[in-house]
């Protein structure tokens, strides 16, 4: 019975205009995962991977992860204000109950410097999204061919991103699901819908070794409530980091990050649910790894990874 209720709930979600884009507590450490404008923004190879296990022990709860890879195509500019170029790859998977969504995207971005510190980046994702429904774990009180029929759907996927940063602040915008592809096997109104995300952050340096980085992301799904995360992250010598976050009306989280031998970093975050679900579920975990061939010019606040 619980499995049937889960399937029914998920079907209603896909019929509605709700959130269809995965969300991450460590979003501010993995900007390329949400914004293609970060493709090749650093003058080195940058690889990120993350796994998120949400609402543990809750049947049908989301499990999400991604792998990203970016590389610069042109590091030096030929003349003043000319663009540097970058490319990237992203694979993202999201499983909710009997539904699985896989996205494969290639990215291109151009990076324009107005001066030494001010930079505008514009980027695009292009690829495919595969959505599948596997009924093998579904049960119903009465036989229902519609519920028990396996389905897979493949459609184009595209996103646009913009990013501006100066020495001590950044602003970003990402437009997702630019192709409103239908999934007619589920219903006439089932489709991927346009989503927007806006984010920004600041850096405040109180000493040479310690920086505080408040950040905000606003997610705007179609015809549904706007959601927002507020985060405060402290960085010590670009080696250790600790942050606290609040997803408004949903959860609080804490994140810890450590860098190993300058080029490897590991981050873990824990979400504590504040809604009524807390009485029936355990909480959410995220684990991520980062590798970069960039070598810091020096330790300290000037080389914080959010502003490289």
Per-residue confidence of the chain (308 residues) as pLDDT tens digits?
344 334 433 433 433 334 567 889 999 999 999 999 999 998 889 999 999 988 766 666 788 999 999 999 976 666 656 678 999 999 999 887 778 889 999 999 999 988 878 899 999 999 999 888 766 666 655 555 555 566 778 889 999 999 999 989 999 999 998 887 666 655 555 667 788 999 999 999 888 899 999 999 999 887 778 889 999 999 998 899 999 999 998 889 999 999 998 889 999 999 998 877 766 677 889 999 999 988 765 444 444 445 55
CATH of the domain at 165: 2.40.160.40
Residue 27: strand, helix, or coil: helix
Query: Which residue range forms the structural domain that includes residue 37?
Result: 2-307
DSSP lists the bridge partners of residue 86 as: 72, 109
- Residue 300's pLDDT is 46
- Helix, strand or coil, per DSSP, at residue 303: helix
Q: Which residues contact 298 (CB under 8 A, 6 or more apart)?
A: none
Which pLDDT does position 238 carry in this prediction? 87
Which residues are within 8 A (CB) of 190 and not within 5 positions of it... i.e. 6 or more apart?
14, 15, 182, 183, 184
pLDDT at 124: 97
Q: Which of 283, 281, 226, 276 is nearest to 254 (CA)?
A: 283
Please give the helix or strand (H or E) that residue 7 lies within, else none. Answer: helix 2-15
Spatial contact of 117 and 91, defined as CB atoms under 8 Å apart: no
Q: What is the torsional sign of CA 26, 28, 34, 36?
A: negative
Residue 38: φ, ψ to 5°: -85, 5
pLDDT at 3: 42
C-alpha distances out from residue 166 to 169, 171, 203, Å: 6, 9, 10
Residue 259's pLDDT is 92
Contact 39/123 with Cβ under 8 angstroms?
A: yes
Contacts of 155 (CB under 8 A, 6+ apart): 128, 129, 131, 179, 181, 192
Picking from 200, 171, 290, 288, the residue whose alpha carbon sits closest to that of residue 238 is 290
Number of domains in the chain: 1
Q: What is the DSSP letter of 194?
A: -
């Amino acid at each position: 019975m619980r499995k049937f209720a889960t399937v029914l709930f998920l079907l209603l979600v896909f019929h509605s205009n709700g959130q269809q884009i995965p969300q991450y507590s460590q979003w501010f450490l993995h900007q390329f995962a949400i914004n293609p404008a970060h493709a090749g923004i650093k003058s080195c190879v940058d690889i990120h991977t993350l796994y998120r296990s949400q609402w543990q022990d809750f049947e049908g709860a989301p499990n999400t992860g991604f792998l990203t890879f970016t590389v610069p195509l042109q590091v030096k500019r030929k003349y003043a204000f000319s663009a540097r170029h970058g490319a990237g790859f992203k694979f993202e998977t999201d499983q909710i109950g009997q539904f699985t969504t896989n996205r494969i995207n290639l990215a291109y971005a151009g990076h324009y410097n107005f001066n030494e510190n001010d930079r505008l980046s514009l980027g695009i994702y292009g690829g495919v999204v595969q959505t599948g429904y596997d009924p093998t774990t579904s049960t119903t009180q009465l036989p229902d061919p519609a519920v028990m029929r396996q389905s897979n759907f493949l459609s184009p996927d595209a996103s646009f991103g913009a990013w501006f940063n100066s020495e001590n602040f950044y602003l970003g915008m990402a437009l997702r699901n630019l192709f409103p592809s239908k999934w007619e096997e589920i219903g006439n109104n089932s489709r991927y819908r346009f989503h927007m995300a806006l984010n920004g952050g600041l850096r405040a340096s109180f000493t040479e070794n310690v920086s505080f980085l408040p950040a905000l992301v606003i997610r705007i799904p179609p015809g549904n409530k706007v959601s927002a995360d507020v985060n405060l992250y402290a960085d010590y010598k670009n080696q250790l980091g600790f942050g606290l976050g609040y997803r408004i009306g949903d959860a609080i989280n804490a994140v810890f990050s450590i860098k190993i031998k300058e080029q490897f970093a590991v981050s873990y975050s824990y979400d504590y649910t504040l809604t009524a679900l807390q009485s029936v579920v355990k909480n959410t975990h995220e684990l991520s790894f980062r590798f970069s061939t960039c070598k810091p010019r020096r330790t300290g606040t000037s080389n914080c990874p959010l502003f490289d």
